[in-house]
Amino acid sequence: MNKRILVSGYYGYNNIGDEAILKGLVDGISQVSDAELVILSKNPDFTQKKYKVDSVDRSNIFVIIKETIKSDMVLLGGGSLLQDITSKKSIIYYLTILLIALFFRKKTFLYSQGIGPVRLKRNRFLTKHILSKVDFINVRDNQSNRELKELGIKKDVLVTTDTVFGIKDVDSQRGKEILENLKLKKGKKNICFIVINWKKYGDQTIEEISQSISQIFEKRDDVNIILVPFFYHLDLDIEKKIFNNLKDKYEDLYILEEYLHVLDYLSVIENMDIVVSMRLHGLIFATLMGAYPIGISYDPKIDGFMKELDRVQRHYIEDFDAESLTGEILESLDNLEELKKDTKSHLDKFYKLTELHNQAVVKVLEG
């Protein structure tokens, strides 16, 4: 019989970053193993339909225990699951999944994880105690590895990259069709903005992004600017406010309101020239699909990824200003082909790193 892997993550919420992580995980592991994947999901029917894998309810503890007993390995699959910045409770959920697996003596694997920050003393203690007992730890960046060392975890750690770099078969034509439906002007550079409403900085973000878009249009008449929500219901709300502020003034400003899934978003990003993103996976999608990424950071994971591109993170959600952001965008437009080429030069590294963590899964599973 085939081996069985139970996969836990933030799946089934249609947060495009996390859905992309799952897509990369399924594609990557399936290429090197015939193991049966079972995904813990908020919406098992959705997950099963989209990824052609078995899926069960992530909120039912009895189902989780049952599936753990039936599995050979429990895998914590990608993303920033072990942190207590966005939620103080979610880290407990994921540590509990590992604890159940350890109790039933199942193999345990942290797969392409972004670790930290973990700030609460209780959470730091639990994370150190549980991760010290898992079979294999794989993180997606060097910053996560440093966080593990600061937590006091002495195990060997494999540092690779985000699972999204394992995604295959993106149809660029689909993105063209989506953008044609928006009636984008042809022959112009496409700039994508991915905006989030982070804590108390929402009004400030709306003001600075609106000013930056205005400044770009005042300086350049050869660009389209498209607002794209990645976590649909949350991002769309703040992006609509920005769009409504400016839509009567600029005819080359657009907002993508269509409810899409991972491959559609990747295809849309493939048709962009610059992606200005407050979400990590907006930057990762841009890198993967050939656009030039510019980050506005709300979390160390964004700083960590930009460092992997040999770049210094310049803009932070607490204090970024329109003029500085606009300056970088305009400078990037003037040097676009060179910057795209430099970004693309990192892709082979990311592809090879995804092969490493997928082969590690096989080694632990079969060992």
Statement to judge: residues 254 and 131 lie in one domain? no
DSSP secondary structure letter of residue 140: S
Statement to judge: residues 283 and 149 lie in one domain? no
Q: What is the pLDDT of residue 233?
A: 86
Q: Residue 194's beta-bridge partner residues?
A: 277
Statement to judge: residues 76 and 181 lie in one domain? no
Q: What is the pLDDT of residue 116?
A: 93
pTM reported for the whole predicted model? 0.93
Q: Determine phi and psi for 48, rounding to 5 degrees.
A: -65, -40
> Which structure tokens are listed for 72?
């050979």
Statement to judge: residues 277 and 244 lie in one domain? yes
Statement to judge: residues 235 and 318 lie in one domain? yes
For residue 237, the enclosing domain spans: 172-347
Statement to judge: residues 242 and 275 lie in one domain? yes
Statement to judge: residues 227 and 147 lie in one domain? no
Query: Which residue type, as a one-letter code, is found at position 10?
Result: Y
Statement to judge: residues 152 and 199 lie in one domain? no
Query: Which residue type, as a one-letter code, is found at position 23?
Result: K
Q: What is the pLDDT of residue 184?
A: 96
CB 252 within 8 A of CB 225: yes
Statement to judge: residues 298 and 257 lie in one domain? yes
How much helix, strand and coil, in percent to the nearest 5, is found in the chain?
Answer: 50, 20, 30
Statement to judge: residues 159 and 285 lie in one domain? no
- How many angstroms separate the CA atoms of 14 and 24, rounded? 15
CB 135 within 8 A of CB 74: no
Q: Determine phi and psi for 6, rounding to 5 degrees.
A: -95, 125
Q: What is the pLDDT of residue 215?
A: 98
CB 29 within 8 A of CB 361: yes
Domain count, the chain: 2
Q: Say which residues have a Cβ less than 8 Å from residue 126's Cβ, sequence separation at least 6.
A: 91, 92, 95
CATH number at residue 268: 3.40.50.2000
Average pLDDT across each block of 10 residues of the chain; the chain has 367 residues. List them in order.
Answer: 95 93 96 97 97 97 98 95 91 98 98 95 97 98 94 97 90 93 96 97 98 98 97 94 98 96 95 97 97 96 93 96 98 98 96 96 96
Q: Residue 110's beta-bridge partner residues?
A: 76, 137
SS3 state at 73: strand
Statement to judge: residues 235 and 302 lie in one domain? yes
Q: Give pairs for 297-301: CB < 8 Å, separation 24+.
A: 298/196, 298/198, 298/201, 299/80, 299/85, 300/116, 300/117, 300/143, 301/80, 301/114, 301/141, 301/143
Statement to judge: residues 354 and 343 lie in one domain? no
